[in-house]
Structure 1
Amino acid sequence: MARSQQANQELTEVLNQLWRLDTNRLKPETDYIISLQGKAGYVAQGSNYARDRARAPLFTYVNEDKLKGIETYLHFINLLDNYETSTGVSEKVTSEELHENRLFIESMMETDVMKYAHKYLVSKGQSSSEPGQFKRQLYDIWFRLYHRDRSGGQDSCGFEHVFVGETKFGQEVTGFHNWVQFYLQEKHDHVDYKGYKARDNKYTPDEDDHVLNLQFSWNGLVKPIGGCFIGVSPEFEVALFTIIFLMSTQKMTSVVVKVDEYVLELVVYRHGRSIGTSYPKLLSSNHKDL
């Protein structure tokens, strides 16, 4: 992706339109309540210890009627138990899981967010105007299996890494950048929130923020820092990162954009025709009411 101001300005406008169209986004203090608590400490590379600066869970409340009542969330949640979390362990995809993948893509295609993303990508020559072709493209980007650990079989895909999370060598958490998965894993005591990470000690997030940098452990393994959107719909994240992925041929793409009140660094790594990983980093916020 060109690093020109014009390119970033266009991307900013596109992503802000996605934001405006995301009517399935949950509202802070209404649909969910979080408790940020303390600032997370430093974790040495390779260490599996992080001091706990948050005695209580991150999520105090989530309106589960919304998670069960909005189709894209419902189909998204059905996918979260379809994967082996350890890299190096080959994935076995059942016909039922294939069907669940397709239902999720179909449900996203019905949203204004994904319709807009598709229209934009067609205008840029990055996607076919034929919906069936675009669905196959989404499938390849997010669900096509590939080798992450070269010692084993096809053990990973973009969706698993970004939204579900993986463990590497039984020693570290990789990926896991989704708030719904975080909430559900925390609810079942698999996630222990350790605190938030502020960038260069210059910016302190607040509990209305829709983007956070978090530290946590998952089944006893530490994620030193992970950026994730909070409250946004699954289709918003898929649309946003699909656009960045398709508009770049680089192995790693990093763009800084202002979406609503947030200045974000959006990072996407390519793994052939698929996403290797993608995540947001919160740089700053204007703290205005949404």
Structure 2
Amino acid sequence: MMSSTITLCFLLLSSGVLHVYGSCVGRCNDPLDNTKPCQCNSHCVQYNDCCDDYHDVCGQGSLSSLADTLWNLDVNRLVADTDYVINYQGQVNENNKYDNAPLPFFTSLNENKVDSITSYVQFKSLLDNYESTIGQAEDLTSQEWGEIDAFLDTVMASGVMQEAFKYLHENGHVPNDAAQFREKLKEMWFNLYPRSSGGVIESSGFEHVLVGEHRSTVSGFHNWLQFFLQEDAGRLDYQGFVKTGEPRIVGSQFDWVGYWKSLGSFFLGTSPEFDMSLYSVCAIMHPNAVCSFHMNGSDVRIQTWDIGHKTGLQIASAYPIL
């Protein structure tokens, strides 16, 4: 994960609920608290002392409302302990490289169900289109672009992406043009770019976030199905969990084809269209920043990054913060 240029000070309450100082995460409708630099109740609008993320986290038509809607619309999400079973095993410190999990992370997965859902099948077809070594030039064949277009068509037709598109349009972030929005998603996620200014064409948002890359260590790799597939193929060794969160978020430590990841976070069981929809909304609304909201009863924060040396918005990274 990239280092944030924004310093956040965290207060961990005795209840175990994480509150972000200067943010409305976990504070919606709290009474006036003069020890805080900003407020998160309906009076803050009148007194002009709302936290910067008040409208996103707590307001009507907020990101929280959208996130709950997206969660409920994710009809292709797999069911924990029914469609898949995981084994957390030992907890590890992200700064220490040791294996505290002798068994795989995934005990089982209903692969028949996965292979019966179009978006999963198309997602899997994209995973071998990329060269994971950062710094090695890449290109995509016409067949691979065809696979991307088929996947994008499926994602665009999904309820979660349709709702995300509607929300972004209604809040003035994109025009009411589905074809134009599809091209924006293609640019954000699939058009190749250099990860460093003047470097070779080597990466894309999809490759970094959902497939994974490596140089001296693993970079990106924030998708549960890719994790399962690589572990099942014997290419990934799960070493233990660093942190967990809700709804169904894990931060894991692992070795992938000889490269180490100290903390890789991802949602568990969510569909590819859900991940792309949620990350796209956050990237468009809050590029290079933390996107905070309430979803399915839990406070969630998503960090997104843009490739700054390239014109327009391209996903450099996107992941849930734990």
Question: What range is the shorter-chain TM-score in?
Answer: 0.7 to 0.9
Contact 1:126 1:246 in 2 (8 A): yes
Pick 1 or 2: higher relative contact order, CA cutoff 8 A, min separation 6. Answer: 1
Q: For residues 82 and 317 of structure 2, what CA distance do their matches in structure 1 show?
A: 31
Verify the 8 A CA contact 1:53 1:195 in the aligned structure 2: yes
Normalised to the residue count of structure 2, the TM-score between the two structures is 0.79
Shift of 1:131: 1.9
- 1:254-269 aligned at under 5 Å gives the runs 254-269=290-305
Cα distance in 2 between the residues matched to 1:233 and 1:66: 12
Give the Å deviation of 1:264.
2.0
Matched, 1:136 2:183: yes
Instruction: Give structure 1 regions of 4+ aligned residues with deviation exceeding 4 angstroms.
Output: none
Give SS of 1:193's match.
Answer: strand
Q: Is the 8 A contact 2:247 2:295 kept in 1?
A: no
Aligned-residue sequence identity (percent) comes to: 37
Whether 2:226 is the aligned partner of 1:181: answer yes
Distance 1:113 1:264 in 2: 18
**Corresponding residue pairs, total:** 265
**What's 1:277 paired with?**
317
Residue deviations 1:82-128 (CA, integer Å, cap 9, x gap): 00101111111000010011111101122111111111111122223
Deviation at 1:257, TM superposition (A): 2.2
Larger Rg: 2
8 Å contact 2:247–2:296 — kept in the other structure?
no
Task: State the match for 1:19 in structure 2.
Answer: 71
Task: Give the one of 110, 114, 122 matched to 1:67.
Answer: 114
Quote the offset at 1:5 in angstroms.
Answer: 1.0
Question: What corresponds to 2:143 in structure 1?
Answer: 96
Q: For the Cα contact (< 8 Å) 1:165–1:174, is it kept in 2? A: yes
Alignment correspondent of 1:211: 249
For the 8 Å contact 2:94–2:253, the answer to whether it is kept is no
Q: Is the CA contact (8 Å cut-off) linking 1:88 and 1:151 kept in structure 2?
A: no
Corresponding residue for residue 225 of structure 1: 263
Cα 1:128–1:196 shift into 2, 3 Å: same
Tell me the equivalent position of 2:28: none
Aligned Cα root-mean-square deviation (Å)? 1.7
Aligned residue in 1 for 2:82 = 30
2:130 maps to which residue? Answer: 83
> Which stretches in structure 1 are left out of the alignment for 5+ residues?
45-49, 199-203, 283-290
In the TM superposition, residue 151 of structure 1 has moved relative to its aligned partner by: 6.1
Residue number in structure 1 paired with 2:157: 110
